[in-house]
A and B are shown apart, each in its own frame.
Chain A
Amino acid sequence: MTTTTAPPAPAGETSVPDGAPRKRAAARAEGRAAWILALPFCLLFLTFTAWPVLQSLFMSFTDTRARDLRTPFAVDLVGFENYAKAFGDPTFRQAVANTAYFVLVGVPLTLTVALAAAVALDRGIHRLRSVFRLGFYTPVITSIVAVAVVWRFLLETDYGLINTVLGWVGIAGPNWLGDPNWSMPALIMLATWRNFGTGMIIFLAGLQSVPWQLHEAAAIDGASAWQRFRHVTVPMLRPTILFVSVTTGIGYLQFFEEPFVMTSGGPLNSTISMSMYTYNQFGFGNYGYAASLSYLIFVLVAIVTALQFRFLREKD
């Protein structure tokens, strides 16, 4: 907070008599330079992040609609009406349930696949490690829109690649995107496929910090590979697991592109997500209502983050 440079010696202790004023001048120059460097960020940040965050909160208590665009403050305050409306809105409740489904199944699944891949690459094999690592990570860098387009065709009932492969082993694949029971599993499958690479890379880095001696000691004591994984690797990786589950969870809470491209939220609203419903309300011109929905997503993100921190911290 305060502007003191030159940490070791307080001003009075310098041997040069005029040291103190010169140091103060230097500190002022430093502070000025720091603010000049910070200025562009601060201006852009205030305009495009801080202001909209506050404005969004304000808007969520108003009945702002598209035609109020030019006069964002000349609108009526409606208190918690938008929020009340959201909780009573059957489509939004469906969107909340769908999002919960996506997060509660998708996050553990993605983490499990990521951790399995990381452990296999870290300890199990010696050759071609970088080839597998590269391959598994590739989907992460691609546009969700593009892969969702591709997956829509892969999931075709009659001539899709996935049902063809299932046919080889005698399984009649479902009408993935047309059946309300299978649409969400299909989206979760896509999300896991696309995202586990990030977790895998972070777990691989985390595994480097697990001391090999602990594994050796446990092996000498007769612990099986699974016991060593369960009681040595997992506890050592706890901070990393926390990090990956929080970031994956925050991302999954906002899923949008997958239903937008693959199902338009259908069939029978079985894949409409909170973000997508918010976007739709915005599209209808209900800005105030959309703002309140986006704040609900924000609150959920904050709660999920806090809960995951607690849950994974407690066991230390």
Chain B
Amino acid sequence: MGLNSKKANWWLYGVLTVALVAVVAPFAWMVLGSFKTEGELRSSPPTWWPQTATLDNYTQLFSRLSFGDYFTNSVVVAVAVTAGNLLFCSMLGYAFAMLEFRGKRALFLVVMTTLMIPGVVTFVPLFVLVANAGLVDTLPGLFLPFLVSPFGVFLMRQFVLGLPKDLVDAARVDGTGEIGIFARIILPLCGPALATLGILTFLGSWNNFLWPLVVAQTEKTYTLPVALALYSTGQNSTNYGLLLAGATVVVLPVLLVFLVFQRRFIEGIATTGIK
């Protein structure tokens, strides 16, 4: 970089700022557009600020369409999936990291090889399974298949490996039971890893699309992405204001959570990527 760094910097700041505007503008346009009238959205050239701001799109979204219900469905599914992953993946992650047991290596190998199996491979027989259990078009049908993930096990194992094994040995000497050691000594120390896993899992479930699209067959079980996708390709496909308001409802909660916990997000991505 050396002596000419000042000049280079201004140039670079300019390029990065243009890039930042290009990345963020669609979101700004989405939020602002959700307050515009249908006529204004079709005007050429497009407007930036709403000329006559209206809440009509949101009123319609929650009264004529049931976006309130879809929102609840999305939350219920995401909370269940997150709770399952936090509990079950940390249990197995701890066993892999700290305990010796018969079949450990074989089990670990199986878990690791399934890390890369795409959802599109299993959804057909999974649908048959869920259909035969009578769970099609129910919320359990939406979340049961996602209560555990190989990724979660791997993440928790890596974190627990970094804890001192003496903790476990000392607790054994004190007479703490094996399950008690996990629940009372290890789990409370896993805060950072649980936070990362929780955030990533919640987000993945909130944005998940293929499986809910297959299982949710009537409006009572639609999640937000399913409802938005079906309305945007169905009878409301040209109702721009409504769809932009819908997209805002899907994106905004996640955006707010992200802004609050951004450090955790970014560290999570960086560490899982490197390890």
Q: Which residues of A contact B (CB under 8 A)?
A: 1-5, 26-27, 29-38, 40-42, 44-45, 47-53, 55-56, 59, 69-70, 72, 117, 120-121, 123-125, 128, 131-139, 141-147, 149-154, 158-161, 164, 193, 198, 201-202, 204-206, 219, 225, 240, 243-244, 250, 253-254, 256-257, 260-261, 264, 275, 278-279, 282, 287, 290-291, 294-295, 297-298, 301-302, 305
Contacts and interface: CB of A to CB of B under 8 A. Distances in A.
A235 to B, nearest CB: 17
Contact of B244 (A70, A149, A287): A149
Contact of A275 (B105, B120, B233): B120
Q: Residue among B111, B148, B244 with the most chain A CB within 10 A?
A: B148
Interface string B118-148: 1111111111110110000000000011111
A133 to B, nearest CB: 7
Contacts of B117: 49, 53, 298
Contacts of B20: 131-132, 135-136
Contacts of A253: 118
A70 B132 contact: yes
Interface stretch (B37-45, B62-70, B190-198): B37-45
A40 B95 contact: no
B118 A298 contact: yes
- Where chain A touches its partner, the secondary structure class is helix
B229 A257 contact: yes
23 contacts: A4-B100, A31-B99, A31-B100, A37-B92, A42-B107, A44-B88, A48-B122, A48-B145, A53-B121, A124-B12, A131-B20, A135-B23, A141-B265, A147-B247, A149-B229, A204-B270, A244-B273, A250-B116, A254-B118, A256-B209, A275-B120, A279-B213, A305-B116
Contact of A51 (B15, B87, B118, B129): B129
Contact of B94 (A37, A161, A295): A37
B121 A3 contact: no
B233 A136 contact: no
B60 interface: no
B128 A41 contact: no
A143 B250 contact: yes
B125 A56 contact: yes
Nearest to A215: B1
B120 A254 contact: yes
Interface residues of B, number: 105
Contact of B270 (A59, A134, A202): A202
Nearest to A300: B118
A142 B251 contact: yes
Contact of A146 (B105, B124, B247): B247
A257 B209 contact: yes
B155 interface: no
B30 interface: yes
B188 interface: no
B128 A261 contact: no
Given A152-B232, A297-B121, A138 B27 contact: yes
B49 interface: no
Most buried by A among B87, B103, B178: B178
Interface of B: 1-2, 8-9, 12-13, 15-16, 19-20, 22-27, 29-30, 33, 41-46, 84, 87-89, 91-92, 94-95, 99-107, 110-111, 114, 116-129, 131-132, 144-148, 150, 153, 172, 177-179, 182, 203, 206-207, 209-210, 213-214, 224-225, 228-229, 232-233, 240, 243-244, 246-247, 250-251, 254-255, 258-259, 262, 265-266, 269-271, 273-274
B269 A264 contact: no
A305 B113 CA distance: 12
A117 B106 CA distance: 41
Contacts of A298: 117-118, 120-121
Given A1-B105, A36-B179, A143 B126 contact: no
Nearest to A4: B100
B129 A256 contact: no
A132 B95 CA distance: 40
A125 B274 CA distance: 24
B207 A144 contact: yes
Contacts of B87: 40
B209 A287 contact: no
Contact of B128 (A120, A133, A151, A287): A287
A-B pairs, top 5 by smallest CB distance, nearest first, are: A33-B178, A34-B101, A202-B273, A55-B125, A205-B270
Contacts of B147: 44, 48
Given A72-B128, A117-B19, A287-B128, 8 more contacts: A3-B101, A34-B104, A50-B114, A146-B250, A147-B247, A149-B244, A159-B46, A161-B29
A69 B132 contact: yes
B124 A287 contact: yes
Contacts of A219: 2
Given A45-B148, A149-B246, A244-B273, A143 B251 contact: yes
Contacts of B150: 45
A49 B114 contact: yes
Contact of B9 (A1, A125, A141): A125
Contact of A297 (B110, B111, B118, B240): B118
Contacts of A282: 123-124, 127, 214
